[in-house]
A and B are shown apart, each in its own frame.
Chain A
Amino acid sequence: MSGTNGKIRHIHDLLVNKKITCKELTEKYIDKIKESKLNAYVHTCEDLAIKTAEKVDEKISSGKEISMLEGIPMNLKDNISTDGIETTCCSKMLQGYKPIYDATVWKKLKGDNAVLLGKANMDEFAMGSSCENSCFGGACNPHNLKHVAGGSSGGVASAVGGNIAVYGLGSDTGGSIRQPASFCGLVGLKPTYGSVSRYGLIAFGSSLDQIGPIASNVEDVAIVYDSISGYDTKDSTSSKVAPNDTFNHLNDDIKGMKIGIPKEYFDGINEDVKNAIDEAIDAYKSMGAEIEYFDLPELKYTLPVYYIIACAEASSNLGRYDGIRYGYKTKQYKDIEEMICKTRSEGFGEEVKRRILLGTYVLSSGYYDAYYKKAQNLRGTIIKAFKRAYEKFDVILAPTVPTTAFEFNFTSMDPVQTYLTDICTVPVNIAGLPAVSLPCGFDSKDLPIGMQLIGNSFSEDKILNLAYKYEQYTEAKYLKELDMGVRL
């Protein structure tokens, strides 16, 4: 397959031209998932997948038109609610929990006969950067199984990179789509806050969370984004102005576009990563874009601001897991208070408990002003700083992660050191901006390197356009299709 065409379009053509039936295609994926050692899936739904595939085949054989996403095998991160299908956030706390409603994004894709292969591995309640905080164990990086797929949407990236899903939907609170996409050599889009409905996404940090696609190339990401974005009456924070025709703008001329590069993003980044980004900057220059370095000093506050806000919201969002209405419930207890406390202590993992404590701390009386309120004020300052930058630039270019994928058990015992790896991704969530991570090189160990293009609010079309142009310009040489999973 050539890198200039998307994989979704390629499979769509195979289906429409009856080169393969949707059922055969789906079975291939199901078989490969069974063989896979990636630990990308935590629940599979073969019956539903086959049933949907048969429906699509029937449509094709009766001469009906099918939409681009119909019959395309995909997955969902395990924090996206699926009616009747286990949704656990990879937490012991939610083992066995089957939602009784569909998340809006899944409702849309289901309506399009998307073939759901299963639910993808993740850090427990999306808290982590390696997927190792999953109660099912971490997902492997398909480029090197000793390395992590990244997190928190590690399972989606692992599966897409390992060719056991064409695309998947992840969620990004502080980089959870972009970081694993970068680690696995994929394209991942964190849409503008409010572009994609959060209804049905099990909340981590409500003011930061966004659902977005991970796929192997820019065109696929554009197709999926176009179909899941848009206003949802069920989500009060969803916007009416999100673009939904990014696909049609992929090939727009980028000559004269102004790309700003904040110097602060390059502090302490890995040499290979820096070189790759520099090369990408040169590529954009050659394509006629204007490059300018600038200072964004407000960035230095984003990590503490992020952890304070995310944990505060999480501590509140996670209060509901008490064993009464769904999910895990402790086996032995003396009274109801003990039932609730034991359930939570046994059901939540270490990192989740840590963040509940932190979030509780920053909201508790006596500390609220110093931490939470201050963080909210600084959030306003950071948003303003970005808005100022966009008066000058069309997009901002930066590395996605300061490093490439780390080995399993590498993450430091010191949580602060681990939090620091999110330095490049969190500003986007704090400011609610859209950003796409795309592959731009490999390090000395042949592990993928990613860069991100950060746009102004609701400029998904622009950043995907720039990403697509880069992919074309580099002849997709950084989209390495691995020799595993389903090859078509």
Chain B
Amino acid sequence: MKYELVSGLETHVELSTKTKIFCSCRTDFGGEPNTHCCPICIGLPGTLPKLNKEVVRYAIMAGLATNCEINLISKMDRKNYVYPDLPKAYQISQYDLPLCKNGYIQLDSGKKIRIARIHIEEDAGKLVHKGGDVYVDYNRGGVPLIEIVTQPDIRSSEEAREYVEKLQLIMRYIGVSDCKMQEGSMRCDVNISVRPEGSEEFGTRTEIKNMNSLTFMTKAMEYEKNRQIELIENGGKVEQETLRYIESSGTTESMRGKEDAHDYRYFREPDLVTIHTLSEEVENIRKSLPELPTARIKKYIEKFGISEKDAESIVKYKNISDFFEKAIQGIENPKIVSNFIIGQIFSTLNNEQEKESFDIKVSAESLNELCKLVESKKINVGLAKSTLLKMLETGKNVSNFISQEDMQSISEEKLLEICKKAVDSNPNAVKDYLSGKEKALKVLIGFVMKETKGKVDALNTQKNILDTIKNI
């Protein structure tokens, strides 16, 4: 029998506000243990939370960017469970009135992965285990999170991956999070079940907690799918349980079964009051949203005439897309810029990480300068390419490689003069050409290029040379 994977994702995204969700401690990653803490975020008795305005705004931005409706009336709830990383023994979260609901993210195939809800909550502290002893650091405790919960619309690990990548990109574009999975500022819980293809019913699902890399997530999903199928095929039953993925073995193991499932005893947080957002405020946030990745891709293709593939590979990295947007200022044909990025610049970036951090030695302004020289025909593309490579290597500006004099464009008369000189100085090449060897023309063009330091257009040069030969 053929089986189909059914999966839904719960993604935690750390918001990049300056302060924590309920106190004024900084949210910076790292730092000496317990140095970003105060009585509120270590849960001292008698302390009270005070909600950070920016957290609400960021969550609404995230909701609008993922096509959600905004609940104008919202509230906070307590989710009760005891664990050393949770200093109050409850997490302040949202239960039945999340800030955002009913959104979606569209995959390249056109399929929509529906988003059930986005709610705000606080992160827990960090436990460090050493020889069975536990060390607790509450720096991360109280850092604001949004949890984005999808419907069970995902049918393959590839879809899951694409969904997460798209979500990640949107969050980065609107600037609410850096979504660094390796630093834990984005983490996914994956719900998985399988069912015979064509079946409408859902199978029993398991949940794999805390995936912090896309590679492991897809591997874990594949493993878990196959485990469930094998189990069913052998007459077994999938148990509803919470799993953790073991990276070293590539397998999943049980954290707790259904009978140990938490009873979180949610109830309205009495220390906080209703969050009432006005529809005008929502509209203002909508208007202030930066351009989203899909809109950028569309613009690059339709307005700039960039190929779909190139547009996507630029927009895929917010840093690069922002760099591109800056570098095209005053350029009539942005394709010149995108070609340099896809060609020369990408050739110096060895992997995804390098593209993501996009730590290159050439500034957008500097590339802009170079492209303007090309566009005004002061230098040709070939020279620009080699210059750009030198710039990328040294971090020096255009002017370091092309002199002011060189940047003086060469007049038609001057070009004709040089072409005559080329013909005069290479009688053999002219003879070869006239005897039918087309290739010999290259020698003559090369002569002109050398003389002009590559500042002239090759086609124009060829035309001038041919005219000269004709006039002999």
Residues of A near any B CB (own CB < 8 A):
79-81, 87, 89, 94, 97, 99-101, 103, 198-203, 206-207, 233-237, 312-313, 315-316, 319-320, 322, 324-326, 336, 340, 360, 363-365, 368, 372, 376
Task: For the complex, give the distance between the alpha carbons of A125 and B134 in Å.
Answer: 29
**Other-chain residue from A203, A363, A372 in contact with B46 (beta carbon distance below 8 A):** A203
B263 part of interface (Cβ distance < 8 Å): yes
Chain A positions within 8 Å of B80 at CB level: 315-316, 319, 363
Task: For the complex, give the distance between the alpha carbons of A360 and B84 in Å.
Answer: 19
Chain A's interface: helix, strand, loop or mixed, by majority?
A: loop
Task: For the complex, give the distance between the alpha carbons of A321 and B49 in Å.
Answer: 18
Pairwise interchain contact B46-A199, C-beta atoms closer than 8 A: yes
Task: For the complex, give the distance between the alpha carbons of A320 and B87 in Å.
Answer: 6
Shortest Cβ gap from B270 to chain A (Å): 4
Chain A positions within 8 Å of B232 at CB level: none
Known contacts being A237-B271, A360-B265, is A81 close to B46, with CB within 8 Å? yes
Pairwise interchain contact A199-B43, C-beta atoms closer than 8 A: no
Chain A positions within 8 Å of B90 at CB level: 316, 319
Chain B positions within 8 Å of A99 at CB level: 39, 44-46
B89 part of interface (Cβ distance < 8 Å): yes
Q: In the complex, which residue of chain B has the Cβ closest to the Cβ of A318?
A: B89
| Listed A/B pairs (27) with beta-carbon separation below 8 Å | A94-B45, A97-B45, A99-B44, A99-B46, A100-B39, A100-B44, A101-B44, A101-B47, A199-B48, A202-B46, A203-B45, A236-B48, A236-B50, A236-B272, A237-B272, A237-B273, A316-B89, A319-B80, A319-B89, A319-B90, A320-B43, A320-B88, A322-B82, A322-B84, A336-B134, A368-B265, A376-B268
Q: In the complex, which residue of chain A has the Cβ closest to the Cβ of B268?
A: A376
Chain A positions within 8 Å of B273 at CB level: 236-237
B78 part of interface (Cβ distance < 8 Å): yes
Shortest Cβ gap from B221 to chain A (Å): 29
Max count, chain A CB within 10 A of own CB: residue among B39, B48, B84, B88: B48
In the complex, besides A319-B88, A340-B84, 9 extra interface pairs with C-beta distance below 8 angstroms are A99-B44, A234-B50, A319-B90, A324-B136, A325-B42, A340-B82, A364-B265, A368-B267, A376-B268
B51 part of interface (Cβ distance < 8 Å): yes
Shortest Cβ gap from B418 to chain A (Å): 77
Interface string of B29-53 (1 = CB under 8 A from A): 0000000000100111111111100
Shortest Cβ gap from A469 to chain B (Å): 35
Task: For the complex, give the distance between the alpha carbons of A324 and B88 in Å.
Answer: 11
**Other-chain residue from A89, A199, A236, A237 in contact with B51 (beta carbon distance below 8 A):** A236
Max count, chain B CB within 10 A of own CB: residue among A237, A316, A322, A360: A316
Residues of B near any A CB (own CB < 8 A):
39, 42-51, 78, 80, 82, 84, 87-90, 134, 136, 263, 265-268, 270-273
Chain B positions within 8 Å of A81 at CB level: 44-46
Task: For the complex, give the distance between the alpha carbons of A145 and B250 in Å.
Answer: 71
Chain B positions within 8 Å of A94 at CB level: 45
Chain B positions within 8 Å of A326 at CB level: 44-45
Nearest 6 A-B pairs (CB), nearest first?
A: A319-B89, A363-B265, A207-B270, A206-B270, A202-B45, A200-B46
Pairwise interchain contact A101-B39, C-beta atoms closer than 8 A: yes
Pairwise interchain contact B271-A206, C-beta atoms closer than 8 A: yes
Q: In the complex, which residue of chain B has the Cβ closest to the Cβ of A363?
A: B265
Task: For the complex, give the distance between the alpha carbons of A198 and B271 in Å.
Answer: 10
Shortest Cβ gap from A369 to chain B (Å): 12
Shortest Cβ gap from B263 to chain A (Å): 5
Task: For the complex, give the distance between the alpha carbons of A311 and B213 in Å.
Answer: 42
Shortest Cβ gap from B374 to chain A (Å): 58
Chain B positions within 8 Å of A89 at CB level: 45
Max count, chain B CB within 10 A of own CB: residue among A80, A199, A360: A199
Shortest Cβ gap from A73 to chain B (Å): 24
Pairwise interchain contact A236-B271, C-beta atoms closer than 8 A: yes
Q: In the complex, which residue of chain B has the Cβ closest to the Cβ of A337?
A: B82
Shortest Cβ gap from B93 to chain A (Å): 13
Chain A positions within 8 Å of B78 at CB level: 316
Task: For the complex, give the distance between the alpha carbons of A94 and B44 in Å.
Answer: 11
Chain A positions within 8 Å of B89 at CB level: 316, 319-320, 322
Task: For the complex, give the distance between the alpha carbons of A401 and B51 in Å.
Answer: 39
Chain A positions within 8 Å of B265 at CB level: 315-316, 360, 363-365, 368
Chain A positions within 8 Å of B136 at CB level: 324
Q: In the complex, which residue of chain B has the Cβ closest to the Cβ of A205?
A: B270
Pairwise interchain contact A234-B46, C-beta atoms closer than 8 A: no
Pairwise interchain contact B267-A201, C-beta atoms closer than 8 A: no
Chain A positions within 8 Å of B87 at CB level: 320, 325
Shortest Cβ gap from A370 to chain B (Å): 14
Chain B positions within 8 Å of A316 at CB level: 78, 80, 89-90, 265, 267
Shortest Cβ gap from B34 to chain A (Å): 10
Chain B positions within 8 Å of A87 at CB level: 45-46
